[in-house]
Structure 1
């Protein structure tokens, strides 16, 4: 065997292999760069579509497209009387209508009620929750801290800043329960104010159970916004400017409220907050789930 030729073939083979591996690395880097450019290109195209539909973005568009699952939820399994005893002082049951699904308690704090559609409501005694100072811009944080001892699992809730900031003149503050860093748009806590006094709260309490083992990668926020834009009728815009402004785009979980169901599932959703409606787009199918309110 001619070892010098064999050696030459081996060197050429390794050089060719290096070239192939180098090309693969180069193309992979270009594909990664192309993905970033693709997002920017898609965003530019989206802005053109929004302009045509008389819509405008005033918030960042998330780039994340994680793998997410359906999650199972239901009403709290703990007996209502135990929940009331833990939150309230000297509570006593004054109504228990199982046919309607309602319960009422009287306590030193006020009247605690469970409604047929699964809400917890507490109306405080007048003067009990009056603020000792001007709530100002931090009223959302202050209000939640103040009522936390009287709320089922109050530590799970975070201020829905986008909605509260948009509705600055309202007397209702909104908070959302969270699960694995994502908000549950269906699990809402609303705190009602009058002047500088907390007069009541409404809470949709949901206990999270199992989730599907197999997940699916969600659609992009850009795709969800396009879905909203394509269903937007510019003639229906109530704003005098004729422009619909998108204030917030967030990924979380959502479903409509199922009255009478013991358990149901929440789907991953993109929530898109505009100045006249809140839209929910299914993050797995891309379909508009609810026209909001």
Structure 2
């Protein structure tokens, strides 16, 4: 036997074995690291990127779509409102007897106090607006010196964009912080679609934003609320999806609104 050749064969065999074992080691290590990353919870991933949120709403056991019809206000019913008069749009047709949106002018300004303002707004809505108990304060538009009130269904908000008013009361103020007029639109004949199922959790809605790259590092979910929303309002019949509405404050303190379908988990719309 040629010992020199045998030694060379053994050395080559061990080298091949070492290369094979090294490849197996690195492959297993990569898989292990990947598994650790995959096992990180959404809470851990959000925390790692400095994304925070406050206390989350409770889970929604039964969730469903709703349908609704845009109300047509008649001249007869608005004429019954005391202390105010309807301002007909210039574009209205002669003899037209109903309107999707009405603009009402108050005979006397309605003052709003500096304290308990929202309760006073609630009182004004109940006493002066058609089905006013179906609306609640939403936000104040300082640029237009107006107050936005939005319609509810079963104590759930019917979310809308600033451009699509399908169930909203806009209160217009003067310089003395008094209501002098308002604009109203409304949904009626609201019905629930029979099929019902559990909604995704509020945390899952946050995760949907995160996975779609809407949450940037060091941002904060400052508010999250369950309600109904349609991102394509129709002229009359509306179909509204159960929806999570999230307000996100970016690192630069700018706020953005997001809507996540509470059944499908899809991000419906981003608005400024």
TM-score between both structures, scaled by the size of structure 2: 0.67
- Taking the aligned partners of 2:86 and 2:148, their CA distance within structure 1 comes to 29
1:188 paired to 2:163: no
Aligned to 1:249: 224
Moved more, 170-179 or 66-75: 170-179
- Partner residue of 2:200? 219
Alignment RMSD (CA, Å): 3.5
Compare CA radii of gyration and give the structure with the larger one. 2
Residue by residue, what CA displacement relative to the aligned partner does 1:134-174 show, whole Å, maximum 9, x if unpaired?
A: 622421221231243332200112233xx56xx88984333
The correspondence of residues 58-207 of structure 1 with structure 2, limited to 5 A, is: 59-76=54-71, 79-88=73-82, 91=85, 114=99, 118-124=100-106, 128-131=108-111, 135-160=113-138, 163=139, 171-186=145-160, 187-195=167-175, 196-207=177-188
Query: 5+ residue gaps in structure 2?
Result: 1-39, 161-166, 250-254
Deviation string, structure 1 residues 220-250 (Cα, Å, up to 9, x no partner): 1111111123334567xxxxxx843322111
Give 1:73 deviation, angstroms: 0.6
**Are the equivalent residues in 2 in contact too, given 1:97–1:103 (CA < 8 A)?**
no
Counterpart of 1:3? none
Count of aligned pairs: 221
Unmatched tracts of structure 1, length 5 or more: 1-43, 105-112, 236-241
Distance 1:91 1:48 in 2: 57
Bigger mean CA offset, 219-228 vs 60-69? 60-69
Distance across 1 between alignment mates of 2:95 and 2:207: 42
User: Which has a greater percent of helix?
Assistant: 1
Is the partner of 1:217 in helix, strand or coil? coil
TM-score by length of 1: 0.62
